[in-house]
């Protein structure tokens, strides 16, 4: 069955009508994307803040345990408790990673949608003056990904940190007579 490609099909017209009902205009769609990006970024920031607060308390507890100088039970205490705290730090890092990565992936999705909209509607950027409303740095993958690297890398940095501290805590207790 052949059909003329210059005439929109009923399905395409229904899709266009649905999009018009849902968003009304490209500006409303852009506003929606920006709100979603802002919402997910705040979720990512909250998750990162909570994770860093938990890690800072673990570091303080670890340092306090390593400073134990009790002559009766201090050696056994520093041999057992700090490695367990290091293990808890690794486990909390591994537990925090999926939530942080999920927020990053959702932000990535909304940035992609925004970028596609800005590329498909070039008049939106130059609506008010000669310079574009959004620069290429804002709408490119490279720009926003650099700003999110801290949150994405932090669990892996702390997991490595805890592994090294746990090994060091056992090593100095076993080798020190």
Q: How confident is the model at residue 128 (pLDDT cuts 50, 70, 90)?
A: very low
| pLDDT of the residue at 23 | 67
- Record the pTM: 0.74
- Residue appearing with tokens 């000669």: 130
The residues near 31 (Cβ < 8 Å, ≥ 6 apart) are: none
21-35, 42-56, 156-170: the lowest-pLDDT one: 21-35
| pLDDT of the residue at 129 | 43
| pLDDT of the residue at 82 | 94
Phi, psi at residue 135, to the nearest 5°?
Answer: -80, 165
Report how far apart the first and last C-alpha atoms of the chain are (Å, whole number).
88
Arithmetic mean of pLDDT over the chain: 82
Percent helix / strand / coil, the chain, rounded to 5: 80, 0, 20
Residue 65 in contact with residue 13, Cβ under 8 Å? no
Residue 158 in contact with residue 55, Cβ under 8 Å? yes
Kindly tell me if the per-residue pLDDT of 133 is higher than 90: no
Comparing CA positions, the residue from 10, 32, 7 lying closest to residue 117 is 32
Q: For 72-118, what is each residue's pLDDT tens digit?
A: 888 888 889 999 999 999 999 999 999 999 999 999 999 888 888 87
| pLDDT of the residue at 154 | 95
């Amino acid at each position: 069955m052949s059909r003329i490609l210059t005439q929109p099909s009923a399905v395409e017209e229904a899709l266009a009508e649905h999009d018009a009902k849902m968003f009304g205009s490209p500006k409303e769609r852009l506003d929606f994307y920006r709100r979603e990006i802002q919402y997910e970024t705040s979720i990512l920031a909250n998750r990162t803040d909570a994770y860093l607060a938990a890690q800072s308390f673990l570091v303080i507890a670890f340092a306090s345990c390593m400073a134990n100088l009790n002559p009766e039970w201090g050696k056994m205490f520093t041999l057992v408790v700090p490695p367990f705290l290091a293990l808890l730090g690794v486990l909390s890092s591994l537990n925090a990673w999926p939530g942080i990565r999920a927020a990053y992936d959702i932000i990535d999705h909304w940035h992609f949608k925004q970028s596609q909209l800005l590329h498909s509607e070039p008049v939106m950027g130059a609506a008010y003056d000669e310079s574009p409303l959004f620069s290429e740095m804002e709408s490119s993958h490279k720009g926003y990904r650099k700003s999110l690297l801290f949150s994405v890398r932090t669990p892996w940095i702390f997991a490595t940190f805890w592994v090294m501290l746990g090994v060091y805590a056992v090593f100095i207790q076993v080798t020190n007579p």
